[in-house]
Amino acid sequence: MKTKCFNIEKLIIGIVLGWLICFIFIPNLMIVITSFLTKDDANIISLVFTLDNYLKLLDPMYVKVLWHSFYMAAFATLFCLIIGYPFAYIIARMQIKFRFFMLFLVIVPFWTNSLIRTYGLKSVLGTHGLLNKFLLALSIIDKPLHIMYSEYAVMIGLVYILLPFMILPLFSSIEKLDNCYLEAAKDLGASRWQIFRRIVLPLTIPGIIGGCLLVLLPALGMFYVADLLGGAKNLLIGNVIKTQILNMRDWPFGSATSITLTLVMAFLLYIYWKISQKIHKKVEMEI
Amino acid sequence: MKKIINTIYLFMVYAFLYIPIIVLIVNSFNVSKFGQKWKGVTFKWYGELLDNDSLIQAAIHSLTIALISATCAALLGSLMAIALYRYRFKSKNFIKGLLFVVMMSPDITMAISLLAIFTLISIELGFFTLLIAHITFCLPFVVITVLARLSGFDIRMLEAAKDLGAKEWTILSKIIMPLAKTAIMSGWLLSFTLSLDDVIISSFVTGPSYEILPLKIYSMVRVGISPEINALATVMLVFSLLLVVISKWLVREKIR
Amino acid sequence: MKSTLIISQSKPQDPVVRIKGLSKNFDGKTIINHLDLDIYHSEFLTILGPSGCGKTTVLRTIAGLEIADEGSIILDGEDVTSVSAENRQVNTVFQSYALFPHMHVFDNVAFGLRMQGVSKEEIKTRVDEVLTMVQLSDFSYRFPHQLSGGQQQRVAIARAVVNKPKVLLLDESLSALDYKLRKQMQIELKRLQRKLGITFIFVTHDQEEALSMSDRIIVMRDGIIEQAGDPKSIYEEPKNLFVAKFIGEINIFDAKVLTRLDDLHILANVEGKKDVVFCPLEKNIQINDAIKVLLRPEDIRLEELKNSQDSNEIIGYVRERNYKGMTLDSVVQLENGKTIMVSEFFNEDDPDVDHSLNQKVAITWVNNWEVVLKDED
C-alpha cells in the first residue's frame, strides 16, 4: 500500500516538475543568457558576452519609444480604472443571482478572438465609422475626429481589450467589503461621498492595485493593438520585441528588451507587495 | 434615482464592450463591402467564408487547440494543484514560483522564451509547439482556481477516508476529484477562453504548417477589408455561446 | 452632516422615542406589524424575542438604517421617520462591532466627530475622555485586529457614545462574547448607562440577559409586542403563554374552572385534583372555562409520599434529579404523563432535601404565586 502511495505521488510531482522546468524555467533562463550575447548572422547568436544590448536601449530613439509605450499603457490603465471601478461597484452590490450573469456578459466578448475584436474596433473608430457618425449626428462635433492611427486609438484599443481584467479583481475586492462597515459609517453621520472616500476606497486598494497590474503589464506587450490601430508612430514595447525577434532575428537585443520589460514588471510587483504588506499589517485581510 | 443612473452606467459600459462586436455581426449581413453604410441584407459573406478554405481551416485549428489545450491544462493543472495541496516536497516553493512567473509574465516574454526553447530543440513550429505553449500559459489559472477550492476542503474529511482504509488513488479519484469538479470546470472554461483569445503567444510559436486564426486574420487585414471576417466572428461567437449553453445544461442534468 | 446642537424639543416626561403604527415588510413578508412603543429618557430598555420576531428591524428603523413602510418615529419631539441614518442623533453598536479595520482605535472613535466637523482639539478631549471611561486609553493607536473581543466591544461602544446621541442602540452586542466576559460586560454596560444617563435600547434573544440588565423589557413575537413591563412583572405576571414560556422555565398545568370563591380565588380542577387557585376578577374567567395554571419551578413544593399514600394534591413521581449547588432541580412526572420542572432551594429548615428516583410526591405550590391564563387552544 505504501509503495503505491509513494509512486503516484512521485509520478505526479515528476510530471509537474518536468513540464515546468522544460517549458518555463529553461526557456526563461535562455532568454536571460541570450540578452548578454552577441548577434551572429549565421548562427543567430554567438557566445560572446556583451552588455551592448542593454546599452542600446539607452539610445534616445529607443528610450522615446519605450517611454511612449509606457505612457499609452499607463493611461489605458487609468481609464480602465475610472470606467471599471463604478462598474464593479454597481455589480458587486447587486443581488447574487444577477451578479454572475453580469460578469459572464463581460467575459463573453472574449470568445471572439481579441484580434477580431480589435478589427471591429477599427471600423468603429474610423473617419466614417460609427463613433464619428454618432457624434456628428448629435452635433457634439462638426468635423469627423481622426482617431485612427493615433495614440488615442491605441489607448482605446487597450482599454477595450483589457477592461475585464480590471473589473474582475475590483469586483472581487469590493464584494468582500462587509456591509456592516458601510452601515456603521452611515450611523456615525458619514455622507455617501465620505463613506466612499474613507471606507470603501481604502479597503478596496488591494483590488485596485491588482487590477492595475493585470492591465498595465499586458498592455505594454500588446503589439497587435498598436499594429492595427496605432500605425508606425505609436509602438508598444511589444512591437519592438516582435520586430527584433521575428523580423530582424536579433535575439540578443530582443531578449534584452524583453528582460527590461520583465524588470519593470518585477519592480511594479515589488511596489505592490510592499503596499500590501503595509495594508496587511493594518488590516489583516486577504489580498 | 440612484438605480436609474446605475442602470444607465452599466448599459453604457456594456455598449462599449459590445458595439464593435455588434458592428461585426451586423456587417456580416451587410451588402456593402466596406461596412460604412447599410446597403441591405445578404448572406453572401457567409458563402465566401465557406469558400475560404484556409480561413475555415485556421478557425477549426484555433478551436481544436483551444479544446485540447483547455482539457490538458485542466488535467495537468488539477494534478499540480493536488500535488501542492496534499504533498510535502522540497520543490514546492520552486513550483509555486515558476507558476507565478508564468502568470505575471507579459505574454510577449513568454512567447519569445518558448520560441527560444523550441528553436533550441529544433522542433518544427506547428501543432505541438502551439499546444505546449497554450497548455503552459493556461496552467497557472487552473492551478489557482483548483487550489482555492481544495483549500476550502475540510481536511478531516480526507483523514476520515484514510481512517476508513482508502488508498491514495481512491482518495484522489473518489473524493478530491468529484468535489473539485466545479473548480476544474471553471479552470477548463477559463483556459478555453484564454486559448481562443490568444494572439501574442500564438503569433510566435506556430508555423505555416498549422495556421491559426490570429495570423490568418492579420494577413487578411493587412491586405484590405475582408468582410468574411465579420461572418467568421459571428460564427465563432455563436459557436462559443452554444458550447456554454450545452455545458450549463449538462451540469444541470448532473445536479438532478 | 449631523448638527452638533442638541436642542431637546420635548419635555422631560415625554418619551424620547415615540413609535406609532410602525410597519415594515421585506419581500412581501411582514416583519413589523403596526407597532406602537414609547421609550423614555434615561431608561435601559431591552427588546427581547426569538429570531425573526422583528426586534432587530425595529432597532434599525429607529437608527434609520431601514425606512419604515408605514407609521412614524418621533425622536425627542422631532419627526425623523424619513430622515436617513446619517442625520439622526442616534448611534448603534453593531453585533459584529463593525470597527473600521484600516483605522486605529482613536480614529475609529473619532470618526463620528470628524463627520460632524468638530474641531481637532475638541475631538482629542472627547475621545480621550470616552476611552478612559471604557478603560482603553492605552490602546488608542492599536488596530482592531490587535484587540480581543471584549476590547473591540468597548471600542464599538466608545465610538457610538462619544457622539452624545439621544439614544444608544445595541444590537445583540454581547452575543459574540464568552460566558464570563458577557456577564462582566452586562454589569459594565448597566453602569455606563447610569453614568451617561442616555437611553439604551438593547436587543437580545437571551432572556436572562434581559432580566438582569433592563429597567423595562419589551417581548416581541412575529412583529408585534406581546408584553411590555419591568423585569419583575414580565417574569411573575406573563400575559400569555408565549411570554411565560419565553422567559425562564415554566410549568403549565391544565385546569377547569369549577366555582369562584372570592374576588381573588377560584376553585378549579387542576390536573384531576380540586385546588384553590389565585385568580383575580380582572382575569375575566367564567365557570367551566378551560384555563392554564402557570408556575415557575421555584414556586413548587414537593412533599414525599409513601407509595401507599394518597393525597388531595396532584401526585407525581420524581424521574430525574440534578444537584445544582444552590438548588435541587427535579423533573417530576404526573400520573397523566406530563412532566414538570421543580427547583427547590437548600435552606436551614431543610438542609438535606433530596429525592430518590421514582419517589412518589405530592405537588403543591406557594399560595398566590400561580398565574392563570385562559387556554388559548
Write the Ramachandran bin of C77: left for phi over 0, alpha for psi from -120 to 50, otherwise beta. Answer: left
> Which residues of chain A lie closer than 8 angstroms to B9, CB-CB?
86-87, 90
Confidence bin at C348 (pLDDT 50/70/90): low
A13 to chain B, closest Cα gap in Å: 6
Question: Is pLDDT at C147 greater than 90 in this prediction?
Answer: yes
Average pLDDT over residues A19-35: 89
Choose among C79, C133, C87, C143: nearest CA to C112. C87
Choose among C116, C149, C110, C155: nearest CA to C132. C155
Q: What is the pLDDT of residue A6?
A: 59
Other CB atoms within 10 A of residue A205 CB: 17
Question: Is pLDDT at C30 greater than 60 in this prediction?
Answer: yes
Whole-angstrom distance, CA of residue B102 vs CA of residue A19: 13
Q: What is the pLDDT of residue B135?
A: 93
Beta strands in C76-153 (DSSP E): 78-79, 90-93
Question: Is pLDDT at A5 greater than 60 in this prediction?
Answer: no
Whole-angstrom distance, CA of residue B84 vs CA of residue C171: 43
Q: Which range has the worst mean pLDDT, B237-246, C35-44, C238-247, C294-303?
A: B237-246
A253 to chain C, closest Cα gap in Å: 46
Whole-angstrom distance, CA of residue B40 vs CA of residue C118: 68
pLDDT, tens digit (0-9, with 9 covering 90-100), for B88-140:
777 788 888 888 888 778 888 889 999 988 888 888 888 888 999 999 989 88
- The position carrying cell 453621520 is A189
pLDDT, tens digit (0-9, with 9 covering 90-100), for C289-299:
888 999 999 99
Question: Is pLDDT at A121 greater than 50 in this prediction?
Answer: yes
Confidence bin at C356 (pLDDT 50/70/90): confident
Q: What is the pLDDT of residue A242?
A: 87
Long-range Cβ pairs for the range C112-115 (8 Å, 24+): C112/A188, C112/A189, C112/C2, C112/C159, C112/C160, C112/C162, C112/C163, C113/C162, C113/C163, C115/A188, C115/A189, C115/A190, C115/A191, C115/A194, C115/C1, C115/C2, C115/C86
Question: Is pLDDT at C232 greater than 70 in this prediction?
Answer: yes
Name the more confident of C65 and B52: C65
> Which residues of chain B lie closer than 8 angstroms to A245, CB-CB?
112, 115, 204
CA A282 to chain centre: 28
Average pLDDT over residues A232-254: 84
As given in the structure block, the three cell numbers for residue A189 are 453621520
Whole-angstrom distance, CA of residue A220 vs CA of residue B107: 10
Q: Which range has the worst mean pLDDT, A116-120, A231-235, A280-284?
A: A280-284
Whole-angstrom distance, CA of residue B85 vs CA of residue A9: 12
Nearest-CB residue to A188 (from C101, C115, C143): C115
CA A115 to chain centre: 16
Q: What is the pLDDT of residue C377?
A: 61
Question: Is pLDDT at C216 greater than 90 in this prediction?
Answer: yes
Q: What is the pLDDT of residue C282?
A: 81
Average pLDDT over residues A228-234: 81
Average pLDDT over residues B154-172: 75
Average pLDDT over residues B175-189: 81
Instruction: Report the amino acid identity of residue B87.
Output: Y
> Nearest chain B Cα to A107, which residue?
B193
Average pLDDT over residues C193-197: 91
Query: Could A23 and B76 be called an inter-chain contact, meaning their C-beta atoms sit closer than 8 Å?
Result: no
Q: What is the pLDDT of residue C1?
A: 40
Q: What is the pLDDT of residue C114?
A: 92
Query: Could A110 and B197 be called an inter-chain contact, meaning their C-beta atoms sit closer than 8 Å?
Result: yes
Q: What is the pLDDT of residue A283?
A: 58
> What is the full DSSP assignment across B18-82?
HHHHHHHHHHTTBSSSSSSS---B--HHHHHHHH-HHHHHHHHHHHHHHHHHHHHHHHHHHHHHH
Query: Could B116 and A34 be called an inter-chain contact, meaning their C-beta atoms sit closer than 8 Å?
Result: yes
Question: Is pLDDT at B237 greater than 50 in this prediction?
Answer: yes
A1 to chain B, closest Cα gap in Å: 7
> Which residues of chain C lie closer than 8 angstroms to A185, CB-CB?
100, 111
Using a 10 angstrom Cβ sphere, with 0-12 exposed, 13-18 middle and 19 or more buried, the burial of residue B34 is: middle
Average pLDDT over residues C301-306: 87
> Nearest chain B Cα to A164, which residue?
B17
Question: Is pLDDT at A175 greater than 80 in this prediction?
Answer: yes
* CB proximity B15 to A under 8 Å: no
> Which residues of chain A lie closer than 8 angstroms to C98, CB-CB?
178, 180-181, 183-184
Q: What is the pLDDT of residue C48?
A: 93
Confidence bin at A205 (pLDDT 50/70/90): confident
Q: What is the pLDDT of residue A239?
A: 86
Average pLDDT over residues B8-12: 91
Beta strands in C271-313 (DSSP E): 273-278, 290-295, 300-304
Q: Which range has the worst mean pLDDT, A146-150, B118-122, C146-150, C184-188?
A: A146-150
The residues near A1 (Cβ < 8 Å, ≥ 6 apart) are B167
For testing contact with chain A, the best of C1, C97, C102 (most A CBs within 10 A): C102
> Which residues of chain B lie closer than 8 angstroms to A261, CB-CB?
106, 108-109
pLDDT, tens digit (0-9, with 9 covering 90-100), for B59-101:
888 889 999 999 999 988 888 888 788 777 777 888 888 888 8
Confidence bin at C352 (pLDDT 50/70/90): low
Q: Are B83 and A12 in contact (CB under 8 A)?
A: yes
Q: Are B103 and A218 in contact (CB under 8 A)?
A: no
Name the more confident of C37 and C8: C37
Q: What is the pLDDT of residue B91?
A: 76
Q: What is the pLDDT of residue B251?
A: 66
Phi first, then psi, for residue C73 (nearest 5°) are: -125, 120
Average pLDDT over residues C329-339: 90
Q: Helix-strand-coil percent breakdown of chain B, rounded to 5?
A: 80, 0, 20
Question: Is pLDDT at B256 greater than 50 in this prediction?
Answer: no
> Average pLDDT of chain B?
82
Name the more confident of A280 and A172: A172
Q: Are C70 and C22 in contact (CB under 8 A)?
A: yes
pLDDT, tens digit (0-9, with 9 covering 90-100), for A54-101:
888 888 888 888 888 888 899 999 999 999 999 999 998 888 888 888
> Nearest chain A Cα to C98, which residue?
A181
pTM of the model: 0.78
Pairing between β-strand C90-93 and β-strand C167-171 as defined by DSSP bridges: parallel
As given in the structure block, the three cell numbers for residue C333 are 412526572
- CB contact residues (below 8 A), chain B span 154-213, against chain A: 167-169, 172, 193, 196-200, 203-204, 213
Query: Could A190 and C86 be called an inter-chain contact, meaning their C-beta atoms sit closer than 8 Å?
Result: yes
Name the more confident of C125 and B105: C125
For testing contact with chain A, the best of C62, C65, C86, C152 (most A CBs within 10 A): C86
Average pLDDT over residues C165-179: 89
Question: Is pLDDT at A217 greater than 90 in this prediction?
Answer: no
Instruction: Report the amino acid identity of residue C216.
Output: R
Other CB atoms within 10 A of residue B42 CB: 14
Question: Is pLDDT at A16 greater than 90 in this prediction?
Answer: no
Instruction: Report the amino acid identity of residue A244.
Output: Q
Nearest-CB residue to A191 (from C86, C92, C111): C86
pLDDT, tens digit (0-9, with 9 covering 90-100), for C35-87:
999 999 999 999 999 988 889 999 999 999 999 999 999 998 889 998 888 88
Question: Is pLDDT at A156 greater than 60 in this prediction?
Answer: yes
- The position carrying cell 460604412 is B36
- The position carrying cell 456580416 is B28
Q: What is the pLDDT of residue C229?
A: 93
Average pLDDT over residues C178-188: 89
Q: What is the pLDDT of residue C123?
A: 94
* CB proximity A185 to C under 8 Å: yes
> Which residues of chain A lie closer than 8 angstroms to B70, CB-CB?
none
Question: Is pLDDT at A285 greater than 60 in this prediction?
Answer: no
As given in the structure block, the three cell numbers for residue A232 are 508606425
Whole-angstrom distance, CA of residue A111 vs CA of residue B195: 10
Instruction: Report the amino acid identity of residue C29.
Output: K
The residues near B232 (Cβ < 8 Å, ≥ 6 apart) are A116, B49, B55, B59
For chain C, the straight-line distance linking the first and the last C-alpha, in angstroms and rounded, comes to: 53
Whole-angstrom distance, CA of residue A197 vs CA of residue A220: 30
> Which residues of chain C lie closer than 8 angstroms to A95, CB-CB?
none
Whole-angstrom distance, CA of residue C243 vs CA of residue C48: 10
Query: Could C159 and A188 be called an inter-chain contact, meaning their C-beta atoms sit closer than 8 Å?
Result: yes
Confidence bin at B176 (pLDDT 50/70/90): confident
For chain B, the straight-line distance linking the first and the last C-alpha, in angstroms and rounded, comes to: 42
Quick one: DSSP state of residue C215? Answer: S
> Average pLDDT of chain A?
83
